Structure 1
């Protein structure tokens, strides 16, 4: 077996050496034969049905042509009339025109490997490379692998897979690297111990429940301490009694030293025991029972603590004590060395970014048809493609193949029909305008007189005068009228509030009329202004005087402004709890007096807050100044400033950044907007705009050509043919352009258009 392997390797080495010496074997890349052109898609529902019969077209010189579908007869070498055509065109050169549609470019080419490049022990790697004017990038690679080479790949991958399977996942560490039996034995013993403690606790609880009331009472610590204190006192009394008896006998012996009997008996004197009272014996008996209870309580607490300890056992921490850390470290080291082992074991890994990886036989050549769709860009108007590759043998030797021939794709797109005409900004400046202001005047209770000495009235009146004077002297606007509306808060009767609002409005008007007359007398400006688009003053004339404001003041009133109150309630967070209920009453109850009464009754706290905080904001006067621009007759002003947004959209369109261009060009609804719609596949929108452009500019050949393309996409073949023929009449060069656009080239072949024997344009 080893000898056979050596023979095979030697044979492969000789072939590989001859391949490197000769350098004649090359990969062939060529343009594929064009596929049959499909029939134009059927028109969507609601569109004009695609024409399948003859089309009648009238030229500008009045000739009427009848166009019928034609087919090319390969045997007769001429076109014949028919209703359908399926033609195959063969490309024999290395240059091809391709169309860009919807921002995409479809590229096709054929790759052929000769027999000299194929061997069972080789792998051929081919990488298509695209070159544009600015960038170079690669497409997905092609791999052609021999059977023995693939077998070697699989063996290497099998070895590496065995290595990977030997690595234990961290989730299985305990199962593989721990003393599972010891861990389970510990848990079993802990469970048995816990059950025994639970049974002992049950016995202790039962014993504690069967104790008599005396024991239960003496189990109290205070009773226990009091009993011990009484026993200590009784023992002290007995000890003092004995000492007193012995001391008296000793003193008697000392007082009669001649009495030998007393001297003899004194050391051996035993006083009579003091009789223990009955209550002391009862305390001793009860304290003996209490001690037993205390010992039982201590034992029960100890048992409960051990049960809690066993119940709260941390198994995760306990598991760490049973791990074999040396095995875990070895496993993690194997995981860290995966990439190094892969490089050492797998000599010929599978390559990423591969379009095709197939096994080939060395007895015949291989041809592969490659199709790829790429995104159109600013520099993709011309694309060059070539192949580079290498041959790798099972021995690890590598031979770089010479580059293949270069294919060139000339990309045609609709951006050649961009309209570069400049567009200028037109600005809409409104002639009329309004200015609103709100002022708060305080009136006497149930009174209508405007007193400047009351509250902040003087400051409010001064603010009205300043605003009015600013508007009167404004160089842009002039005052047409001033409308003031006095409002009151909802407390009290609606009829009274309506009368007060009306009378207060009239009183305030009188004050303002008087002040405005003084103001007009003090001002000495008059003018009429002509403005440019930016609002600047271009000419000043002193023919017009100031408006007579006293005659332009209009007084109005609103008894109770419930709408304003509703806005205030919604915006005030202090009324969040009752807000919905108050608003519901405002919307539901029609009678304003009953509405306020219901709010006061159902929500007394919120009503008090509203009356204190919100009602004063409703006692106001709203001013509305109606204005117009001086010397202005219309709203729209045209400028000579170039529209930068439009120019930016056109530049993006030229760079084939269609989505961004459409976002800028969408409001303009012109030919460039239609072109952006066509480039992103929105053909209906493009057809709508181009139809309007065709009506507005009937002699624009490029608009008609674009309309022909859109109509062909929508399935309206008759309109497409008519628009194409009219465009070719206006600009004869467009008849050649039609062969570059797939939508129109199909119609040109179908109806045999631009045949001088049929149509003489």
Structure 2
């Protein structure tokens, strides 16, 4: 009997024991696999993607097509080029062997085009790192100019891992469905209906009546509000339970969905349905180039997760290095100069507001703001007199009056004022020169004696000039005055058409704007203008031609170096030279660049750029011809060709490095 009881108990516990045993075995299996990965230092491999494109290879079983090209050499002879290698005897033979697609090198030269660079690399995940219950999370990092940038992660998810994720979402969805959103489901409707039928039959009769009754009217009729009746028959226990569920939404999401499925900010999230070998993903990161950016490094870290537990941190391998080349390296630092015509005579002018007493012409420093204006004039004259490059020849003083008063009176008054100003500042200049002469004309000797030296003093002329009534300035001020209406401006403009100045002034007095003009505008017309006439010291000829550095051209060259190609094209377009062609080529304006280069002397730099352009335009024959000629003129272009995709594609297709080596050897014999 005891045996039967024990057997029955064991039968009940057997499923649980089997489950526990399976979990223990699975855990041990997972740990053994992790230990094996750690012992062998297995990691995801970062490698360079193969740049070669084999999409145009013939189908298997057909006769392979050898890449051949007919090139016209500089001497006029035709050269036939095919993809070839040396045999054991040193002879060149055709080669149609497809090379492996893995690139072992840890660095690559990449070309910047249009201000951008594509960094292509492979993320290879060995089969030994993969497991149906795991999720592999890889985080590439890019190192540029001392900064570290996090790139979009690559997520590789096992089938069972994703199934567990989806199961968690399903459980959470069932939880959400258990939350009641229709509040009428909380009311014990049957009991409420019985209550109404027994106690409030009139209310019960209204259950099919759609007429609206306010809560106040309902209470006045039946002594109880509708809300009170509903609350009485509401199942508060269910309501409270539902509220608790609502409050636990976030907690239940975390319970059921331990690892949410992330969709944003990922480069790849793939689910492996079967593990049948290494997983390879080609990752392309496009970056904008910056000044001084010459290289970028890519490294990658990774983790293995089972559910929300990190099982293992995948070791970081040495980074891949991308050396960035640019067409800006071809820019020539040559200076350009402009021919500049220097005039012996120059002029400078300034306007000042010197106030005069009404109808008077004397310069009074104490009147109004005259002290400040006179100080400004003296400072300006002093700076011109002490200038090391120019001598002051003459000063024209033009005094103007407002239209107030007769024209003849204003003519005489303006003439007197210009003469008065000329006399006033003529005295200042004489005093200034006398003081400078005293300071400079004595030289002390070693024996405490001194000697005097005479300096030639240019006779400075003041030329008085008068403007009786400054109507031109009046018209300009009125046009830009915001206090005058458009109608008033139109009326003043009509008055300005009158020829006689006195009649013009009389007509202005009749306008409602006259008081404003007299008080606010007329004072601005009583000005004194100084025109300073100078000549360059030591210069005899009226004009001298000289050269100055062309700053616009040099800014264009710097713009290419800074990879600001649009600015470079704008600045260099008028020059039509090699640097202009570089700017055009950098923006893919290939025809414009070609037109310039074809007109230039065919040195190594020009031939190489022509090779790039013809390669872009699809003329491989001319591209190869110009490239070979560039290599003959400058052997460094043999290696430079690897940096530019337009040339490297031709080098790979026609084995141009080997051919160049052969041609160079032949030239040495």
Aligning the two structures, in what range does the TM-score lie when normalised by the shorter sequence?
Answer: 0.5 to 0.7
Sort the Cα spacing of 1:104 and 1:433 in 2 relative to 1 into closer, same or farther, 3 A: same
Q: 3-state SS of the aligned residue for 2:214? A: helix
Query: Which residue matches 2:489?
Result: 583
1:188, distance to aligned residue in structure 2 (A): 1.7
1:479 to 388, 392, 416: 392
Measured against aligned partners, the alpha-carbon deviations of 1:78-128 in whole angstroms (never above 9, x if no partner) come to 459xxxx99977444233524131444333334444444444333333444
| Counterpart Cα distance in 2 of 1:728 and 1:64 | 17
Query: Which residue matches 1:730?
Result: 633
Query: Which residue matches 2:106?
Result: 95
Query: Which residue matches 2:473?
Result: 563
For residues 245-324 of structure 1, the aligned pairs below 5 Å read: none
TM value normalised by structure 1: 0.57
2:214 to 178, 181, 188: 188
Sort the Cα spacing of 1:634 and 1:750 in 2 relative to 1 into closer, same or farther, 3 A: farther
CA contact (8 A) 1:690 1:703 kept: no
| Counterpart Cα distance in 2 of 1:582 and 1:98 | 73
Q: 3-state SS of the aligned residue for 2:480? A: helix
Query: Which residue matches 2:158?
Result: 146
Say whether residues 1:344 and 2:255 are aligned partners.
Answer: yes
CA contact (8 A) 2:394 2:533 kept: yes
1:411 to 323, 342, 359: 323
Measured against aligned partners, the alpha-carbon deviations of 1:213-244 in whole angstroms (never above 9, x if no partner) come to xxxxxxxxxxxxxxxxxxxxxxxxxxxxxxxx
Q: 3-state SS of the aligned residue for 1:729? A: helix
1:624 to 519, 531, 537: 531
1:19, distance to aligned residue in structure 2 (A): 0.9
CA contact (8 A) 2:631 2:638 kept: yes
For residues 691-706 of structure 1, the aligned pairs below 5 Å read: 701-702=604-605, 705=608
CA contact (8 A) 1:690 1:707 kept: no
1:733, distance to aligned residue in structure 2 (A): 1.4
Measured against aligned partners, the alpha-carbon deviations of 1:488-515 in whole angstroms (never above 9, x if no partner) come to 33456xxx52x44544444345445656
For structure 1, the residue ranges without an aligned partner over 5 or more in a row are 40-51, 195-322, 530-540
Measured against aligned partners, the alpha-carbon deviations of 1:285-335 in whole angstroms (never above 9, x if no partner) come to xxxxxxxxxxxxxxxxxxxxxxxxxxxxxxxxxxxxxx9999999888767
| Counterpart Cα distance in 1 of 2:533 and 2:240 | 86
Q: 3-state SS of the aligned residue for 1:154? A: helix
CA contact (8 A) 1:662 1:676 kept: no
1:464, distance to aligned residue in structure 2 (A): 9.5
| Counterpart Cα distance in 2 of 1:132 and 1:145 | 30
1:156 to 165, 168, 180: 168
CA contact (8 A) 2:418 2:466 kept: no
Query: Which residue matches 1:17?
Result: 31
| Counterpart Cα distance in 1 of 2:274 and 2:261 | 21
| Counterpart Cα distance in 1 of 2:492 and 2:593 | 51
Sort the Cα spacing of 1:502 and 1:663 in 2 relative to 1 into closer, same or farther, 3 A: same
Q: 3-state SS of the aligned residue for 1:489? A: coil
Measured against aligned partners, the alpha-carbon deviations of 1:164-217 in whole angstroms (never above 9, x if no partner) come to 67789xxx99999999x99x99972558999xxxxxxxxxxxxxxxxxxxxxxx
Sort the Cα spacing of 1:599 and 1:110 in 2 relative to 1 into closer, same or farther, 3 A: same
| Counterpart Cα distance in 2 of 1:526 and 1:413 | 65
CA contact (8 A) 1:484 1:623 kept: yes
Say whether residues 1:355 and 2:267 are aligned partners.
Answer: yes
TM value normalised by structure 2: 0.64
For residues 141-540 of structure 1, the aligned pairs below 5 Å read: 141-163=153-175, 188-189=214-215, 339-351=250-262, 353-375=265-287, 376=289, 381=294, 385=298, 387-393=300-306, 398-400=310-312, 402-403=314-315, 406=318, 408-414=320-326, 417=329, 432-440=346-354, 442=356, 450-451=361-362, 456=367, 466=378, 470=382, 473-476=385-388, 477-491=390-404, 496-497=406-407, 499-511=408-420, 523-524=433-434
Query: Which residue matches 2:643?
Result: 740
Q: 3-state SS of the aligned residue for 1:93? A: coil
1:737, distance to aligned residue in structure 2 (A): 1.2
Query: Which residue matches 2:587?
Result: 682
Sort the Cα spacing of 1:363 and 1:8 in 2 relative to 1 into closer, same or farther, 3 A: farther
CA contact (8 A) 1:678 1:710 kept: no
Q: Which has the higher helix share?
A: 1
Q: 3-state SS of the aligned residue for 2:469? A: strand
| Counterpart Cα distance in 1 of 2:98 and 2:29 | 45
Give the number of the structure with larger relative contact order, counting CA–CA contacts within 8 Å between residues 6 or more apart.
1
CA contact (8 A) 2:398 2:528 kept: yes
Q: Give aligned pairs, total.
A: 569
Say whether residues 1:608 and 2:619 are aligned partners.
Answer: no
Measured against aligned partners, the alpha-carbon deviations of 1:574-596 in whole angstroms (never above 9, x if no partner) come to x3xx4222223344552266766
Q: 3-state SS of the aligned residue for 1:739? A: coil
| Counterpart Cα distance in 1 of 2:365 and 2:48 | 96
Sort the Cα spacing of 1:482 and 1:338 in 2 relative to 1 into closer, same or farther, 3 A: farther
Shifted more, 480-489 versus 706-715: the winner is: 706-715
| Counterpart Cα distance in 1 of 2:238 and 2:533 | 89
Sort the Cα spacing of 1:132 and 1:546 in 2 relative to 1 into closer, same or farther, 3 A: closer
1:608, distance to aligned residue in structure 2 (A): 1.7
| Counterpart Cα distance in 1 of 2:316 and 2:369 | 94
RMSD, aligned CA: 6.0
1:557, distance to aligned residue in structure 2 (A): 2.3
Say whether residues 1:547 and 2:459 are aligned partners.
Answer: yes
